[in-house]
Structure 1
């Protein structure tokens, strides 16, 4: 068994892939976090016929081993919607604002959070299809004009 640390770094992962090929490994379990280097890493393995299992981040040509994030997000959003309806009532949830003693902020429920949590269990909500939401980050601005 040969072990190498990619250090959460694409160039390091590529160097490790080249090192594995030089050592004639048969199979690699790859945890590659830099999606920009995934194709380059797989190209190195494919040229030598090395089989690969990709952990958490899919890589073309590798067997994927990880969570089904879209399904998990939808399931979590569905249960969150059901819990919000149970705790606050459907009318409050339809209005789009909830508050709780355990949550100090007031958040517009159907316009925030992961796409699946926009009231997946409450499709009759008037804003369900009207809002475009995103999980905005400093690098990914929100696409919802009402949230800018």
Structure 2
């Protein structure tokens, strides 16, 4: 008889279980949308470049940290402690604040430079949409991580 491995309340997933559990299933979409923000912002030219530095920092930081966080969970380095559940909630809450501020900043810069080249304007609008989509994904992940931490 095949044994089923159901994740119990108060345990953190490891291995391929991160692809099937509620909050952790958002790792891959977060990476995709964050990577798209990173690529789209890097492909535009704004003069002066400083306003988009925060957006680039947020997209690169969150991409790298989410990838490392996913590897930690997949490798099983967390050892099912409540500290990891709290850290998961804390990181995703911070990522929500970062991406929300970066999305607002990017939307404002896009609004200011709308009279510029139309192709760059379209790329910037796409980056704004993906930044807010990433914000939503991180927000859902943070809420579900908070629920998991509460039940840990």
Which of the pair has more CA radius of gyration?
A: 1
- Answer yes or no: same fold by TM over 0.5: no
Higher strand share: 1
Larger RCO, structures 1/2 (Cα 8 Å, 6+ apart): 2
Higher helix share: 2
- TM-score calculated relative to the size of structure 2: 0.28
